[in-house]
Structure 1
Amino acid sequence: MQYQLIQTQNQLNVFVEHIRNKPILAIDTEFMRRRTLYPEVALIQVYDGEHLALIDPLAELSLFDFWQVLRDPAVLKVLHSPSEDIEVFQKYAGFVPAPLFDSQFALQLLGNGNCMGFAHMVKNLLDIEIDKSESRTNWLQRPLTIKQFDYAAADVFYLLPCFKIIIEQINDAGFFDIVINESELIAQKRAYQTPDEHLYRDIKNAWQLKPADLAVLRELAAWRRNKAIRKNLALNFVLKEHCLVELAKRKPTSLTTMRNVPEVDSIEVNRSGVEILKCIEKAKVIPVADFPEPLRRLIDFPSYKKVAKEIKQKITAVAKKQAIPEDVFASKKQINQLISWNWKLTSAEREQTPKPDLLNSWRYEYLKDTLKEWDV
């Protein structure tokens, strides 16, 4: 396995010329995400079947021409389980490479089980054992070791021959457009940002709170994400989720009383206490008429289990007819997403929220007649 480490502009320019008109590129990224909200890209691996490069984004490089290659609709970009790679590209390139072929999803679509890891795929398709001991390495350190470079290069070196095996089966089954469309759906979902005023609904145990508490939680949840974005900190490094709920319940009026709130430690009070108090005070002056409605879990709806079972049965019938694994069509989470969309959101709120997966993308083409009563 031969590869090139690219750390100068001239090296990158030459490599871009080599790959510019290649129809298929295997791509991977290495990144770190320990305390940050956004992934910190540390390496970009690219292989066209002839030239394999490890691009160092920490070097002073203009990636403009390279990004143009990834934008080219005539170039198929192959990645394995690209959800987080998509976020890397959204953050650092400002777009998601397309068309994008996810080899992990393609295997799932072919009935090879959920979430097959890269090493398992290589062993299964190529009968080659690869070393994954560097998977938790610090990719931002410099210099990287030869072992780290070898590990990173292998991720695309073996991806391309795996793809060639998978694509034959995908084309025979007529599933190519489904694979491409699924990656587009992931990109759409990664790009969506829940409005500030709705963030509180996704906080665990928020359903236990009263409307006055939810008004506080709404302010705190919006503040937490905005601070996370501003500081590039993971949400729980701003304030842990369960602390939000305790603060909303108890509504401390001073830093001293805040320190007595269970689960809230002194470090969090020292770091963010004043801001938290401002959120609580802001919520206290909100008119009762503007308090959020109590949150209901799906299980609180009397007909939920019956309806969920009926939807699942309908989807199972379509899945069998189309020879597509049922769990690819719809997970329990996706069925719940559909029901929540209809039962929990107002028409105005639906305007601000992406459609459920089952009413979107390739799934909708197969299910639109079966689920037409849910397409509100």
Structure 2
Amino acid sequence: MPIIQYIDTAPKLSELCRQISKESWLALDTEFLREKTYYPKFCLLQIATPDWVACIDPLALDSLNELFDAIYNPDIIKVFHSCRQDLEIFYQITGKVPSPVFDTQIAAPLLGFQENPGYAMLVSSLLNVNLSKAHTRTDWTVRPLSEAQLEYAADDVIYLCQIYKLMLEKLEKLNRLDWLKLDFELLQNTELYDVSPKNAWLKVRGKNKLTGKQLSIVQALCEWREKTAQNEDRPRNWLLRDDMLFELAKLQPSGVDELIAVRGFNERIAMKHGKTICRLIDEAKQRPPVPLNEKGRSAKKSQHQEAILDILTALVRIRADENDLNPAILASRKDLELLLFDDPDSLLRQGWRYSMVGQELEGLLKGEQLLGIEAEKVYSVNKPE
């Protein structure tokens, strides 16, 4: 194992950046805390190559500009496992998302693994190594960090290097590396990391069951909750849980006393924000909600629609089996619904999924393709003219 470089001064950081500039790819991981804040508190950045490993302490450094300039070099591939939260931290600090990236969690299903496999599972399966869980609940804000903590953090990128090299070799052998291009490009969408308060309600589950006034109230309260959580840097659910949003939308309290009487409502929040919450509820009742605009997908589907989805699912399973893929990575039920309802954002209309099965599925939906059964196998053919 290479010696862990602990970077906590500007001179050490400059030397590390010179090392980074010589590399064609880097394995990266972050340690952060988010239990008591809206924004993740950046506590440690681990970087490794096959030859060296470093743990950078952002709490000890006055500026990380030089580091991010080095990492953001477009000639260097940034390798992560499940990178959404890591990229969110980078975006919040720099206002940009690094590219290009390679995510081993996204790539793994193309090599026969389940959808969204955990890092420890990949390390165990590919390297026959069982990762320690001794510091899973570490408070990474506390200094100094022990040697054991640094070794635990460094392991995440040391083994990530090995996983990446193995995956790259396998993907190239199977000619599947290009399949991932679109998936990785989608990670550059800044909307993934910068939640607009106005659109916060879109992430609340069960909204399609609300009446017009109730939906309008939930939309207003979600926007207020997101803005307040951002301004106060506290978890949104510390202000209002999702189930409380629905309760308020149904009960529609008109004053602080009625708000406090709602079962489970935080009295401290009521005293601090109660008047604002009641005002927002009253105003929301007077206007129509923003339309769900879900093209009927949230409504109960007809038996014919469900049957069509079953047929599409069958074809997906066949093509997945032919390519030794988990069917879930090729197309989920939701992906098929998007295609059925002619949604332009369907992943089945893009990239390798379109070539493998999307175009064929479109042919079925248009009546241009037919399915048949022969010798206990399902096949598709072009509809005769």
TM-score bracket, normalised by the shorter chain, equals 0.7 to 0.9
Matched with 1:250 is: 251
Residues paired across the two proteins, number: 361
Q: What CA deviation, in whole Å up to 9, does each residue of 1:17-50 have, x standing for no partner?
A: 1121211211111111113222221111111222
Cα distance between partner residues in 1 of 2:57 and 2:197: 36
Q: What CA deviation, in whole Å up to 9, does each residue of 1:91-150 have, x standing for no partner?
A: 223222222122233222100223333233223222333312112211111111111111
Q: Within 5 Å, which residues of 2 pair with 1:84-123? A: 84-123=85-124
The Cα shift of 1:284 comes to: 3.2
Cα distance between partner residues in 2 of 1:340 and 1:256: 46
Out of 340, 348, 360, the residue aligned to residue 358 of structure 1 is 348
Q: What CA deviation, in whole Å up to 9, does each residue of 1:352-374 have, x standing for no partner?
A: xxx24334454345444235488
Where 2:109 maps in the other structure, the secondary structure is helix
Where 1:309 maps in the other structure, the secondary structure is helix
Cα distance between partner residues in 2 of 1:225 and 1:309: 38
Matched with 2:233 is: 232
Cα distance between partner residues in 2 of 1:249 and 1:341: 33
Q: Within 5 Å, which residues of 2 pair with 1:108-187? A: 108-187=109-188
> 2:97·2:190 contact (CA, 8 Å) conserved in 1?
no
Where 1:46 maps in the other structure, the secondary structure is strand
Matched with 1:83 is: 84
Cα distance between partner residues in 1 of 2:237 and 2:351: 32
Cα distance between partner residues in 1 of 2:207 and 2:130: 46
Identity %: 28
Cα distance between partner residues in 2 of 1:127 and 1:300: 46
* Unmatched segments (≥5 aa) in structure 1: 343-349
> 1:319·1:326 contact (CA, 8 Å) conserved in 2?
yes
Cα distance between partner residues in 1 of 2:259 and 2:90: 40
CA 1:293/1:328 → structure 2, altered by over 3 Å: closer, same or farther? closer
TM-score, with structure 1 as normaliser: 0.85
Matched with 2:301 is: 301
* Unmatched segments (≥5 aa) in structure 2: 367-385
> 1:18·1:51 contact (CA, 8 Å) conserved in 2?
no
TM-score, with structure 2 as normaliser: 0.84
Cα distance between partner residues in 1 of 2:289 and 2:166: 56
Cα distance between partner residues in 2 of 1:240 and 1:325: 35
The Cα shift of 1:266 comes to: 1.7
Matched with 1:191 is: 192
1:370 aligns with 2:365: no
CA 1:279/1:365 → structure 2, altered by over 3 Å: closer, same or farther? farther
Matched with 2:313 is: 312
CA 1:91/1:300 → structure 2, altered by over 3 Å: closer, same or farther? same
CA 1:114/1:204 → structure 2, altered by over 3 Å: closer, same or farther? closer
Name the aligned partner's letter for residue 250 of structure 2. Answer: K
RMSD: 2.8
Q: What CA deviation, in whole Å up to 9, does each residue of 1:223-254 have, x standing for no partner?
A: 11121222222221121111111111111111
Matched with 2:372 is: none
More deviation in 310-319 or 247-256? Answer: 310-319
Q: What CA deviation, in whole Å up to 9, does each residue of 1:305-344 have, x standing for no partner?
A: 22332332343344345443311112234334555774xx
Matched with 1:280 is: 281
CA 1:260/1:88 → structure 2, altered by over 3 Å: closer, same or farther? same
> 1:101·1:180 contact (CA, 8 Å) conserved in 2?
no
Cα distance between partner residues in 2 of 1:31 and 1:184: 25
Where 2:12 maps in the other structure, the secondary structure is helix
> 1:24·1:77 contact (CA, 8 Å) conserved in 2?
yes
> 2:112·2:324 contact (CA, 8 Å) conserved in 1?
no
